[in-house]
Amino acid sequence: MKNNLVRTISKNGGAIVCAIDSTDIVRNMEQIHKTSATASAALGRLLTGAALMGCFLKGEEESVSLKLKGGGPIGTVHAICGTDGNVRGYCDQPLADLPLNPANGKLNVGALVGTDGTLTVIKDMGLKEPYIGQIPIETGEIAEDITAYYAKSEQIPTACALGVLVNPDLTIRAAGGFMLQLLPGASEEEISLIEQNLSKLDAVTTMLDRGMTPTEIAFAVLDGFEPNVLDESGVEYRCNCSRDKMRRVLKGLGKEELETLASEDPETEIVCSYCNKKYLFSAEQLRELAQSK
Ligand SMILES: [Zn+2]
């Protein structure tokens, strides 16, 4: 797998930028979930955002889960970045779609997600209690919502851009994003230079389409700051489901529910929400599970 995720830092150490070419990740997602154009953009952006948030945790055994519940036609959108940096996700209504946004002619992600609800971020650090932050959704366009999450919940000045370009035949042309975080102590001068850089940048998908690498995109954000690459890695869409995990999910249903399922069907099928893999459990296996401790 080629390196598609990069972490860069300004020479003075005050600004970190992660950038990703998530085209293959979103292509894989579209093949699994058969998403509509707008749903591809919504779930694709959330997956890209999750990968970037995970990139900021690198070196720590943490996973990040994002849950976007805005009351729009797509339902709830889920994305997880595991401790290995790989991502997976799903949405309730992958086929939901809307006409292009009349204001700008773009995919109307904000309306598909909706703005009547919350973005929940769960960081699991392998401790007893995960860290949970929740903010009201601002635009449903996702990059703005992630930026707002960092500002409100973690008090970290952040800039985020996410993009998914969908071909007319619904295949994914390009996808990617970047995230910038300023460490405490950034001067007014530095902040205004960063703002200038950001205002000069084209959309992420335009830059990727032009052949720019994640490193080149990150360096464009940090233009004038003598940036260096901290590390590069390859991340992909990857589900880590297993028969054992599904058994735990079933076990969680409780004894009564398991007995009912066993009496209704000779075989119960469980489908993984993230990768659509099917797991079959016989009535006998369900009854054993109901009896087990
Ligand atoms: Zn799976």
- For 230-265, the pLDDT digits (tens) are 999 999 999 999 999 999 999 999 999 999 999 999
Q: How far is the CA of 275 from the centre of ligand 1 (A)?
A: 4
Q: How far is the CA of 100 from the centre of ligand 1 (A)?
A: 32
Tokens 């230079």 belong to which residue? Answer: 193
CATH 3.90.1280.10 fits 243-291, yes or no: yes
Q: How far is the CA of 248 from the centre of ligand 1 (A)?
A: 14
- What residue ranges in the chain does DSSP mark as E strands? 5-9, 15-21, 63-69, 76-81, 87-91, 118-124, 131-136, 158-166, 172-182, 228-233, 267-271, 278-282
pLDDT tens-digit series, residues 69-120: 999 999 999 999 999 999 999 999 999 999 999 999 999 999 999 999 999 9
pLDDT band for 58, please (50, 70, 90 cuts). low
Superfamily name and number for 5-233: Hsp33 domain (3.55.30.10)
What average pLDDT does the segment 222-237 reach?
96
What pTM, to 2 d.p., does this model score?
Answer: 0.94
* CA dist., res. 206 & res. 266, Å (int): 53
At 40, which helix (H) or strand (E)? helix 37-55
Domains of the chain by residue range: 5-233, 243-291
Q: How far is the CA of 272 from the centre of ligand 1 (A)?
A: 5
Residue with the bigger pLDDT between 129 and 9: it is: 9
Angle CA(118)–CA(40)–CA(88) in degrees, nearest 5?
70
Q: How far is the CA of 69 from the centre of ligand 1 (A)?
A: 22
* CA dist., res. 223 & res. 198, Å (int): 10
Q: How far is the CA of 278 from the centre of ligand 1 (A)?
A: 9
Q: In what order do the strands lie in the sheet with 172-182?
A: 158-166, 172-182, 15-21, 5-9, 228-233
* CA dist., res. 213 & res. 227, Å (int): 15
* CA dist., res. 27 & res. 113, Å (int): 20
Q: How far is the CA of 122 from the centre of ligand 1 (A)?
A: 20
pLDDT tens-digit series, residues 156-205: 999 999 999 999 999 999 999 999 999 887 888 889 999 999 999 999 99
* CA dist., res. 180 & res. 53, Å (int): 10
Supply the mean pLDDT for the chain.
95
For 195, counting Cβ atoms within 10 Å of its Cβ (0-12 exposed, 13-18 middle, 19+ buried), the class is exposed
* CA dist., res. 188 & res. 60, Å (int): 31
Tokens 């204001």 belong to which residue? Answer: 103
AA identity, residue 244: D
**Spatial CB neighbours of 179, under 8 Å, sequence gap ≥ 6:** 17, 18, 19, 49, 52, 53, 55, 56, 146, 158, 159, 160, 161
Q: How far is the CA of 225 from the centre of ligand 1 (A)?
A: 42
Examine the pLDDT at 140 and tell me if it is beyond 70: yes
The answer to whether 259 and 290 have CB atoms below 8 angstroms apart is yes
pLDDT at site 262: 93
Q: How far is the CA of 89 from the centre of ligand 1 (A)?
A: 10
Examine the pLDDT at 59 and tell me if it is beyond 80: no
CA-CA-CA-CA torsion for 128, 129, 130, 134, nearest 10 degrees?
180
